[in-house]
Chains A and B, each alone.
Chain A
């Protein structure tokens, strides 16, 4: 029963992904490997669309993956699966707000969780980079790198981190520009 499976997979993601939108990415990678519902390459495209459309990234990703897997009902069920644990947890936390905020153990658990969450997002990023910036079938020499891709990445990196006027632009600007570059230079 695909719908039940979708709900269960996204319920788990919603329960364990800590730290906002991109934190769901490692779970979706894992889901792609185990279920075969979609590929990691498709996931990278979905991420781009999710960053360029309104709404929280995590919710957009769930909707997109659900739609790809099982159409419109899949989109609804994946999204509901993702948000159900949040709703339950927050309703419980709201009842014990003060105790939660002042708990030593909650603070310590998150002291360990945050670096782990960051590392998992980094690993997911390395995965996308391997897919995009190198030709993994060639192991040696200059042909290993996809040079046009590396050059574009370098330009975007500089523009998003160090050039004042472009630094604060919304990601959608860079995504749109990259699409144009991709079409012109036939990536």
Chain B
């Protein structure tokens, strides 16, 4: 089997087995990519993951691109990424069609009203987790508070905050403030 096809299938498998993406994916990648295929070492995988987290985009996609390009260059990167998103496309499209057909039923509406409450809590928990890895000092807290207030009370594009926050980070650390 050509390695490109193997890359596609392996990442499709990782995509199917990952619920939630991000960190949940690391153990599955370790088993498939490091132990079964030997495409990368544990150290490389950790590096890719770290870089995937601090580059824009979906971490799972970034990691797949990294490993794919290491094996088979640019084409390998693209094929691995397509493999990773393929199961999502199939599963979500099928489910979305189903849900649209049943969404007028009252019990489906009640179910989603309950689910939305759960989503609030899940987002809250995600924020707590993000906070721990994102905010390390007073300046981090200031940026958090400023962006939160601006997002709630203005309707500027999030892109503005991303660019301003990156600039603020560089300014603060260049001028000697903030934890390194």
Could you tell me which A residues sit within 8 Å of B by CB distance? 12, 14-22, 24-27, 30, 33, 41, 44-45, 47-60, 63-64, 67-68, 72, 75-76, 79, 82-83, 85-87, 89-91, 93-94, 97, 100-101, 104-126, 128-129, 131-133, 149, 152-153, 156-157, 160-161, 170-172, 174-175, 177-183, 185-187
26 sampled A-B residue pairs with Cβ under 8 A: A20-B22, A24-B58, A26-B158, A49-B99, A51-B119, A56-B59, A72-B93, A75-B89, A83-B85, A86-B55, A86-B65, A87-B61, A90-B55, A91-B74, A94-B66, A97-B51, A115-B134, A117-B130, A120-B151, A149-B117, A153-B121, A160-B125, A180-B114, A183-B114, A186-B110, A187-B110
Decide if B141 touches A115 in the complex (CB within 8 Å). Answer: yes
Q: A54-B16, A56-B59, A109-B169 are in contact. Are A91 and B114 (CB under 8 A)?
A: no
Q: Which of A59, A107, A178 contacts B115 (CB 8 A)?
A: A178
The SS class assigned to the A binding surface is helix
Decide if B127 touches A53 in the complex (CB within 8 Å). Answer: no
Decide if A178 touches B20 in the complex (CB within 8 Å). Answer: no
Question: Which residues of chain B are near A129, meaning CB under 8 Å?
Answer: 120
Decide if A75 touches B92 in the complex (CB within 8 Å). Answer: yes
For B16, B58, B124, the residue with the greatest tally of chain A CB atoms inside 10 Å of its CB is: B58
How many residue pairs bridge A and B at CB < 8 Å? Answer: 362
The SS class assigned to the B binding surface is helix
Q: Which of A25, A51, A91, A153 contacts B65 (CB 8 A)?
A: A91
